[in-house]
Structure 1
Amino acid sequence: MMKEKPMKSPLSREALQAVRQVPLFSGLGDETLALLTDGALERSYRRGTLLFSAGEPADRFYVVLSGWVKLFRESPDGNECMVGLFTRGESFAEAAMFDRLGFPVNAAVAEDARLLVFTADHFLTTLERNHGLTLNLLANLTGMLRYLVRQLDQLTNQPTYQRLAAFIVSLCPCETNQATVCLPCDKLLIAGRLGMKPESFSRAMARLKEVGVSCERNCVHVEDIAALRRFANTDEEELLSPLPSVAQGQRTAAMRPCR
């Protein structure tokens, strides 16, 4: 008797909502999205888990459902250089699939995370059959380049408190004027991401009290998101988010229970 192949569990509603926030998948029909997510698996990872190392075959990419993931390089003396910090509704490592040169950086779980893992084989096969998805990918990569230019401008021209304010605004949901967002417990991650020293991070957070921002452990409460955006002296297209993003609508992020 032929043994039946085990059925793959369907993705949760929360996972599907997170996928729809990713710029790579924005605007796709239900049928195409179903084809792509059929090849994806939900996985949970503990803080500190190494997802991949530089030079390994880039045979997968990820969407963050909850928690935080960092991309980094290691210097010859063993120090880490932050490349990216990712949270809910954001994808990473998708571009590395195409040049076949392996992952260019390391990736590790910065805070306990649930991730959606897409295999390169399934994704690329689906891509060949859907030109609309190809155009979405090109738009995403173009958006990343534009983001890097904005990031360089902010890191060189904005004071630390404005960088932090813009970062926090980027994590707040768009539909409310108050929010409580959770940051990685290790504030060194955010300090490195925003190009500041740890002591500068603390001073910048204290400065944000002027506009109703309070912080308890890793939870930041924002009384007035619009006021914080004005304080950051930026608009919605210039937010310094954790990830190069095309669709700022994906910023329904980082809303998880505080510890």
Structure 2
Amino acid sequence: MTPVELDTARKSAVLANLPQPLQEKMLEGSQIQTVETGQTLFLQDEPADALFIVLEGWIKLYRIAASGAEAVVSVVTRGRSFGEAVALRGLSYPVAAEAITPSRLLRLDAARIRHHLQSDPVMATSMLAATFVHLQQLVEQIEGLKARSGVQRVAEFLLDLAPCAEGECSVALPYNKALIAGRLGMKPETLSRAFARLREHGVRIDAARAHIEDMDRLRQLTAEDPAKAWLR
């Protein structure tokens, strides 16, 4: 693991609240896992024997319904962890995980960490905090799906990806538009319409990039009354 990757792991929700000696203890026995695009990390309902920290790339977490339809639960990237809650309780993964770009992850053995947690309340508290972070993110995601129009959801997605805080900005779309649509809870054709409507707010989509004329202007759209945004 490179120094940059180690720093990324230390700042993840799983480790960020621990002092360095306990971080090192948690990292004992961890393994780097390199995966290619389309490679599966684990399947839905498999025994959860590990938790993961993304060091590089993008990972899709999804469920398969009885009908065979795929529901994207989340798409995670560098610095994000997943699998904590079920791995540490010895349950099965409620989702499947698949790399959507070439990725590197840190794999932490669940049984080893469970052993540490039983003897160290500081570690247990840190893991509880990480679970709370994920719960909070899920609540915010549901709120976004329920309380924002499709145009606002796409605008917020672009703002989250943007490397700039203000002014003009160019944003690389990290994965294909079908997956973006799934992540935002909409159909691909609805996403296309949302991209078209964003032109009047200074956003132009060019292949795999979004060009934003004014970050503040786009930010104002996300704060607008959803009833007005739905009419756009």
Give the shorter-chain TM-score range.
0.7 to 0.9
Q: In the alignment, is the contact (CA less than 8 A) between 1:110 and 1:184 conserved in 2?
A: no
Instruction: State the 1:176 CA deviation.
Output: 7.2
State the Cα RMSD in Å: 2.5
Gaps of 5+ in 1: 1-10, 235-259
Distance of 2:167 and 2:120 partners within structure 1:
39
Letter in 2 for 1:73: R
SS in 2 for 1:102: coil
Instruction: State the 1:191 CA deviation.
Output: 0.7
Q: Which position in structure 2 is the counterpart of 1:118?
A: 108
Q: In the alignment, is the contact (CA less than 8 A) between 1:48 and 1:110 conserved in 2?
A: yes
Q: Which position in structure 2 is the counterpart of 1:138?
A: 128
Q: In the alignment, is the contact (CA less than 8 A) between 1:59 and 1:97 conserved in 2?
A: yes
Q: TM-score, normalised by structure 2?
A: 0.83
TM-superposition CA deviations, 1:131-155 (whole Å, max 9, x none): 2232222222223333333322321
Q: In the alignment, is the contact (CA less than 8 A) between 2:48 and 2:91 conserved in 1?
A: yes
Structural mapping, 1:60-75, within 5 Å = 60-75=50-65
Instruction: State the 1:87 CA deviation.
Output: 1.1
- Identity level (%): 36
Q: In the alignment, is the contact (CA less than 8 A) between 1:24 and 1:133 conserved in 2?
A: no
TM-superposition CA deviations, 1:192-238 (whole Å, max 9, x none): 1111111221222233344444433333344544443332118xxxx
Q: TM-score, normalised by structure 1?
A: 0.75
Q: Does 1:207 align with 2:197?
A: yes
Instruction: State the 1:14 CA deviation.
Output: 2.1
Distance of 1:15 and 1:193 partners within structure 2:
26
Select the residue among 120, 138, 163 that pairs with 2:153. Answer: 163
Q: Which position in structure 1 is the counterpart of 2:185?
A: 195
Gaps of 5+ in 2: 225-232
Q: In the alignment, is the contact (CA less than 8 A) between 1:39 and 1:123 conserved in 2?
A: no
Q: In the alignment, is the contact (CA less than 8 A) between 2:9 and 2:15 conserved in 1?
A: yes
Q: Does 1:100 align with 2:93?
A: no
How many residue pairs match? The answer is 224
Letter in 2 for 1:88: R
SS in 1 for 2:78: coil
Distance of 2:156 and 2:43 partners within structure 1:
30
Q: Which position in structure 1 is the counterpart of 2:227?
A: none
Q: In the alignment, is the contact (CA less than 8 A) between 2:10 and 2:16 conserved in 1?
A: yes
Q: Which position in structure 2 is the counterpart of 1:23?
A: 13
Distance of 2:5 and 2:166 partners within structure 1:
22
Q: Which position in structure 2 is the counterpart of 1:57?
A: 47
TM-superposition CA deviations, 1:98-128 (whole Å, max 9, x none): 3322112211112221111111123223333
Q: Which position in structure 2 is the counterpart of 1:233?
A: 223
Alpha carbons of structure 1 residues 138 and 173: separation in structure 2 relative to 1, 3 Å: farther
Q: Which position in structure 1 is the counterpart of 2:139?
A: 149
Alpha carbons of structure 1 residues 212 and 17: separation in structure 2 relative to 1, 3 Å: farther
